[in-house]
Structure 1
């Protein structure tokens, strides 16, 4: 999906009709749109979302249509608002147009003339035909759930690095690859087909079987209710965590509270380090026990066997007087060692002696055992020493973890008790205290719900197994049970397949994230996309190991940009693989893949000089198309020096506001190229902007 152009008409801050042509993929794949604060940069980003999905943070048409356009429209006349997006998607061209008309009433109010319409035209080359299902087609091109991966503001993408976003990241990745369809199939199999067969089984059952089927149904209802409670508790917990993380970032901007929050962040890094050490120690303990744990009891058994052997020797039972092999050799030769042939009487005696030679075989085993016993005893002693050492280390680490967590709680309480004499700051701090109290409650609720789900699941499994046994006694019931088992197995198979794909993609994105961080961010940190779908960034701890850090806003943005770049690379790889499959007349994968753009509003705003030099250049290398919406202040300097040679298209959102017309502010795009940036007008009633292309 590559952007070709955007036509915007009277949309919020922008008054008039303008077209933006985007830089195509290649060596000069960057489009820059510059605008002063208040010029409508974020509204331009929202224009993409409104065009594609009809979503806008506005309650009425007065907020959708440019105030300048409304002002210039006479009462009773109509004013149009619209956004048109032209897209290349593989060989096809798409034109997506959302448009509405409104009649101006008295007092600058608007009345809709009909409904806002969405039209989609698609085709190859210039032969475009109207699509009969425009909403569905847009959703297939780019599902709305994925919009924030490719169209975002800088502060929004920071949230990708928050632990509370893990569920959303997983859902987004699944949708990106079309795995959501598999999830819906699993849900359909379980909720529709399996439950339908459950109903048939219950209605067909009689007597004790019906009673058992009713118990199974009740157990399922209880289990499902527990699962819903668990999921709701997790949603509540994650929602509160998200608010806490956002509030702490805001509070860190205040000098009064920053030292306490920095100390808390350092304590959390220490906790992470202790947890890592504790996990390694417990892994070593488990390894020691699985390898040598038997020696704790085994040595005593072996020593008891050795004592029994010694007692047998004292009684004269050992060593054995006749060896088994000696008797077998005599019987095989049929003659004595003196050369005389064995008669029947001698053979009978030898055969009897042979039956009694088992004691000699035991003696040989005991001799072997006794020989290795001392070595096993030594190994057992070493195991005991090592095991006790690891237990002692674990005990100390548990104590350290407890102390560190208590310190964190104390710091949180200390922050909560602070009063800074600033209403806004005190209100935020009070809200943070409330949220932490809610977080603790939801953590408990999550734990209780997890326990209930586990216990009810075990109870349900036992009842279902009993019902299966009952149903085998009746041919009709057995047939229904078999059908249900097939449906459940199909659902479980699909779920395993989906989880397998998700695991493969998670590993791919983790590898890409690390590669992109090294190439794009170029900062010594350990980053990962975990199995829990969390974006993690670590720094060197006091002992030289990697510990989770409390990343800055700049680090979070860089981390998220590297992750999104990995998604774009994944889509490109899948697209190339599918093209190769089609060339061999093979079936393509569920997700078509292909090239995707990044449309960003002020992504580098909080970045330092290092990131501003490296991140934009790295993105340009891995992302096929970049649209950067930013202010002149954020563009000029490091970002401009890094991306300037890659810019093919550039525009200015020229802001018109009330002021002295002689005080026009201009920017110098290039030597000899002065571009108006802010244009004051003495009679301006409202602020508005127009789009102006920068010509070299």
Structure 2
């Protein structure tokens, strides 16, 4: 989807018609909209969400009044004005025009009324050059940019941390399925894995006698428990999203108080820094776990390595290693009947027997090779162990730094909260901040509870798989 041109008419700060032409060149394809606070950047964001979905961001106040106040003030009784947004964009080779508008009138008494409710139209030019208009423009737009995905394209940069929240994952998953047209496959899989599989299990259980019915009943109990747990998790996630949304609203209200703007901005920055530090700590823990998983045995077996090295060194001092001569060489001397000094070796005589004893004392080439490899490996293992210990020490040091930074940021945030919520400077701000603290506590409690119930759900899922295996075995014996 490539934006070409956006036209705004009598929408909040934008009096009359205003047009933004987007950079669409292949080498110059970034459009920057810059402005001071209150100049309309968030309004432009909400123009897009209203045009596409008829919705607004959480910090967009009084969404029922979209028209420009100055334009309405200038209306004479009986007149009306149009508030609208029109976007021209390209998608997959087609040029689209999306247009949403609402007509506001002023009655004889000078009061505001909705003369025409908001309406969306969508037109595009097809491959033949004909202008087409889908029967359901909203569905067509949501096929181009699914509604669950729009918060990841149109979002307030000051609240970007919302994109990393756990409840955002489901929105991404749902939107991607719509975008890739795989919803129908997903429903088919769910159907096959649900209703069809259930009918097969029922049939097997019926034909497996009392034992089959018992397993079926046990499975049904587990499935019911899992359904209940999953419903609770879904509700908790909705509650968690509602808490985050409420917190965002409170932050917007606190940020609008002139005397709190600086503290609120400082808190927002520190919260982002805290979240980033926690993520770095998490990555450091994962790195440490990978290091220990791969090389942990080197840390735990230093005595074994040292003992092996001492054994080889002792054998070397005794002259046993390296092997002074080869067994094959001695055998050839005995077969030839002549020693390396030129003495004749006759079977049964003293010198023949002496050389024969040497053959029994020398080791095999395989042993010598194994010893050589072992010595080299030992040295390599000692070096690797030293490197691993150094890396672990560095990682542990980083962890300590992150922990200290997290504690410092938490203390600074607590201090900011006390300043913002100080009752000496106003009851309203104190109430807002007190509610914000309650929300933070509720978010922690809900997050812990969701994690606990998710583990219970995983355990129940494992029990279901085990029961399915029992039913499968019963089916094989029928």
Give the TM-score, by structure 1 length: 0.47
In the other structure, the counterpart of 1:160 is 160
Larger RCO of the pair (alpha carbons < 8 Å, separation 6+): 1
Distance 1:378 1:416, change over 3 A: same
Pairing 1:121–2:120 present: no
Instruction: Compare the two structures and name the one with the higher strand fraction.
Output: 1
Alpha-carbon distance change, 5 to 203 in structure 1, aligned in 2, over 3 angstroms: same
Distance 1:62 1:293 in 2: 69
* Structure-2 residue corresponding to 1:287: 294
CA distance in 1 between counterparts of 2:270 and 2:15 reads 50
**1:271 to partner: Cα distance:** 6.6
Contact 1:264 1:411 in 2 (8 A): no
Which stretches in structure 2 are left out of the alignment for 5+ residues? 315-319, 321-326, 338-359
- 2:156 maps to 1:137: no
For residues 608-623 of structure 1, the aligned pairs below 5 Å read none
Q: Is the 8 A contact 1:71 1:108 kept in 2?
A: no
In 2, Cα distance between equivalents of 1:25 and 1:63: 29
2:144, 2:179 within 8 Å by CA — same for their partners in 1? Answer: no
Contact 2:299/2:385, CA 8 A, preserved across alignment: no
> For 1:534-549, what aligned pairs fall within 5 Å after superposition?
none
Q: Deviations over 1:419-464 (max 9, x none)?
A: 6432255445434432332233234224323432333333333333
Bigger share in helix: 2
Cα distance in 1, alignment partners of residues 387 and 30 from structure 2: 60
Distance 1:10 1:84 in 2: 12
For residues 193-246 of structure 1, give each alpha carbon's deviation from its aligned partner in whole angstroms, at most 9, with x where no partner exists: 211023213431233223223333433443454455556556655765677788
CA contact (8 A) 1:202 1:214 kept: no
Matches within 5 A, 1:576-591: none
8 Å contact kept, 1:174–1:180? no
Question: Who is 1:448 aligned against?
Answer: 452
Equivalent position of 2:181 in the other structure: 181
Asked whether the 8 Å contact 2:45–2:154 carries over to 1, the reply is yes
Give the Cα separation in 2 of the matches to 1:222 and 1:142.
37
Unaligned runs of at least 5 residues, structure 1: 308-312, 314-321, 331-335, 339-358, 475-696
How big is the alpha-carbon RMSD for the aligned residues of Structure 1 and Structure 2? 6.0
TM-score for both structures, normalised by structure 2: 0.63
Please give the alpha-carbon distance, in whole angstroms, between the structure 1 residues aligned to 2:275 and 2:227. Answer: 36
Q: Identify the residue that residue 107 of structure 1 maps to in structure 2.
A: 109
Deviation of residue 400 (structure 1)? Answer: 6.0
Instruction: Give the match for residue 203 of structure 1.
Output: 202
The residue that corresponds to 2:434 in the other structure is 430
1:470 aligns with 2:470: no
Contact 1:83 1:99 in 2 (8 A): yes
- Quote the Cα distance in structure 1 between the aligned partners of 2:313 and 2:35: 90
SS at match of 1:96: strand
* Equivalent position SS for 1:107: coil
Other structure's SS at 2:477 match? coil
Q: State the shift of 1:35 in Å.
A: 9.8
Whether the 8 Å contact between 1:274 and 1:400 is mirrored in structure 2 is no
Aligned residue in 1 for 2:317? none
2-side partners of 1:437 and 1:36: how far apart? Answer: 34
SS of 1:181's equivalent in the other structure is: coil
